[in-house]
Amino acid sequence: MASGFFALLDDIATLMDDVATMTKVSTQKTAGILGDDLAVNAEKASGFSPSRELPVLWAISKGSLLNKIIILPLAFLMSAFVPKMVIVVLVLGGLYLAYEGAEKIYEFFFHRTEKKVVVAQKDISAEELLKIEKKKIKSAIITDFILSVEIVIIALGAVVEESLTTQIIVVSIVALIATVGVYGIVALIVRMDDIGLKLIQKSKSKSGLLYNTGVGLTKALPWIIKSLSIIGTLALLLVAGGIFVHNIEYLHHVLEAIPGILRDFVIGLAVGVICLLVVKAFKWVLPKKKNLDTQ
């Protein structure tokens, strides 16, 4: 009896050791998506009145958690019954990541001068404000769903050769880290300017540690948002390139002479440009086809 109990403890310890190792690997592989997730959600959660920022972020966080609850069982069922589909979905997710990264670069170079003008309506009713808030929350949750699928599939792809038990534990931990970690950091980011303003107000003079820290936090916020956007774009292409290189045999030996990180970026960007051109061509052809059909 005692030997059986200790053998069980040994099995549990071995499982936990494997889980810790695989969780570290999976988290590293999803780091790029988490960076993009962080940048997107920081943008989505901003633009509200200070009193509504945290409630809105909490609503988005709950939606994100629900997304994971929906996605995880479907991913585990796929891994258990059609494990080859994990690679297929992973590559399809890579195509989306590459497209999104290329599109962001395209928008930066060709639509940089286009500015979105937001008009503040002071006489807007509370009911209308609530509708706008709900619309932004819904948009943020939909975006989170897409990113959550990518995070879960990439994490699952890293442990697809492991036992189903290990897969469930590791991917669930990564999904939880993605939700708690990302939205915790977003909460700090969106409140940076308010924290900075409070420090400035508490400062007795326009100098000293409190005042300078407050000013620094207030000025740093827009730069942090921009930096996250740039890092997120690079991460999208790097992650996409890594997916293609490791899961498409033809690409295993392409550009082997250059450093791996540069190879992943180049391949991710090349595939992203192709996807972008296909989407642009489709959008250009579709309206013309509709016009011909109506004539």
State pLDDT tens for residues 260-285: 889 989 999 999 999 999 998 988 87
Percent of the chain with pLDDT over 90: 7
How confident is the prediction for the chain on average, in pLDDT? Answer: 75
CA–CA distance, 264 with 270 (Å, rounded to integer)? 10
- Alpha carbon 204 to its chain centroid, in Å, reads 41
Residue 39 CB partners (closer than 8 Å, separation 6+): 225, 228, 229, 231, 232
What does the domain layout of the chain look like in residue ranges? Answer: 19-294
State pLDDT tens for residues 121-130: 455 666 777 7
State pLDDT tens for residues 58-78: 888 888 889 888 988 988 888
Report pLDDT for 268. 92
Whether residue 118 has pLDDT greater than 50 = no
Whether residue 199 has pLDDT greater than 90 = no
